[in-house]
Structure 1
Amino acid sequence: MYQLEYFPIRGLGEVIRFLLEDNNIPYENKFVQKDEWSQAKKHGVESGQIPFGQLPVLKDGNLNLAQGGAIIRYLARKHALYGENMEEQAIADMLYEAARDLRYEYFRYIFQDNWEDQKEAFLLKAKVSLACFEKHFQRKRTKYVASENICFADYNLFDVLDHLHRLEKSLFVEFPHLNQFYETMKNRPRLAAYLASDRHFAQPVFIPLGWTARG
């Protein structure tokens, strides 16, 4: 069974949980608390259990795998969620990276001291990226980002869209294809069950130095 080691937050871990939950892949969470992290990090780096002193880390037997992108791609390869050919895989990689960029723009926004005053400016910037995703779905005319079958990149895009939807529910009105994708993902039976459960981390979004629940 996989073990996902991370903080008790949404952050960079929830997208991995989305993939695991939606595909009924057994795993367990190992949560690292604030007062444990300094010692856990030191020991983890020395032992190789936390290879780069960062979480999340996926443990699979003797493998300790860090970096969220590496983790989700590893799971995608193992569980046939990476696309059926090189073109689909390339598209999946492209959409994963584009969604990751948007996620970090969101993180930068919510950790500004005056983040509430910057909402409209952030939404205008986000719409530029969302318009590109909208055009992608218009061109592809597929249910998911790379094909009619779900892949790892779909979970990453869904996670980012869910952050934005929580911030501004009307944001997707001008992006009907993107909104349809969001609704399709949200209503996948296993994913919907997880989202409705008390195991799902809607908040806090992230823990920088201050362990804030903002977002």
Structure 2
Amino acid sequence: MSGKVVLYYFDGRGKMESIRWLLAVAGVEFEEVYLTTREEYEKLVNDGALLFHQVPLVEMDGMKLVQSKAIMNYIAGKYNLYGKDLKERVMIDMYAEAARDIMDMIMMLPFIPPETVKSELEKVQVKAKVRTLPAFEKALGASQFLVGNQLSCADVNFLEACLMLEEELPTILSSFPNIQAFQKRMEAIPTINKFLQPGSQRKPVPDEVHVRIVREVLSHIYE
């Protein structure tokens, strides 16, 4: 195994996108191997690379890492994005989990029947406006970061969640001035600004081709 960071996943967002975000923010270069066939996935399983027969898979520091939360926590810890002590870490986890809950809901929209998308998007909107965004708005009224006095993975996850929300619900942040100011500050950070530019390794909104490939490769899940 080389010293390079290598990501094994689809050429799309999914559970890997937040990992891409953290690596990019940390300034870590990475390569990607895209799964396009069922056979490629089965080879990873048969080779013993997928501990629980699940992707994402990240080769890093001589390890084959699986389980997206574990991977993100490792990256955050290694690159000083995980607070200064245990109390900060648990707060970071709380905010990060809340952001990922919203992202998970949005992530599933391309995979559900078209006739249910509108109702599911309404659920996203209600949860975000009533429960999630007010809590973040309050936290960001006291500090420029969600936890402590430095950038953490929770900030990165929340920025990603905000951008995903705006893709689906363009005006949803209009009544949250602290979040809007936070978003501008975050987007000005050089590594984040670079990741947001065209041609970066950030993935676009999933299209029909991506959905079809995921369904074919993970046919045991979508049968």
Report the TM-score when normalising by structure 2: 0.82
Please state how far the C-alpha of 1:66 moved relative to its aligned partner: 0.6
User: Following the alignment from structure 1 to structure 2, what is the Cα–Cα distance between the partners of residues 71 and 44?
Assistant: 18
Residue 112 of structure 1 deviates from its aligned partner by 4.3
1:130 and 2:133 are equivalent in the alignment: yes
Q: Which residue of structure 2 lines up, in the alignment, with residue 144 of structure 1?
A: 145
Percent identical across equivalent pairs?
26
Aligned to 1:58, what secondary structure does the other structure show?
Answer: strand
2:25 to 22, 25, 34: 22
The answer on whether the counterparts of 2:103 and 2:161 sit within 8 Å (CA) in structure 1 is yes
**Correspondence 1:34-113 to 2 at 5 A:** 35=37, 38-110=38-110, 111-113=112-114
- Cα offset for 1:40? 2.3
* 1:170 alignment partner, SS class: coil
When residues 63 and 98 of structure 1 are mapped into structure 2, their CA distance, relative to the original with a 3 A threshold, is same
Alpha-carbon spacing, 1:120–1:76, altered in 2? closer, same or farther (3 Å):
closer
Query: Which whole-Å deviations, capped at 9, do the CAs of 1:11-44 have from their partners, x for residues lacking one?
Result: 22222112211221122122222x2xx2222222
Shift of 1:115: 4.5
Partners of 1:81 and 1:151 within 8 A in 2 = yes
**Number of residue pairs matched?**
206
Cα distance in structure 2, aligned partners of 1:171 and 1:78: 34
Q: Deviations over 1:164-191 (max 9, x none)?
A: 0111221101111122222222221221
* Cα separation, partners in 2 of 1:147 and 1:16, compared to 1, 3 Å: same
Task: Provide the TM-score with structure 1 as the length reference.
Answer: 0.85
Question: How far, CA to CA, are the matches of 2:173 and 2:115 in structure 1?
Answer: 24
The separation in 2 between residues aligned to 1:61 and 1:105, in whole angstroms, is 32
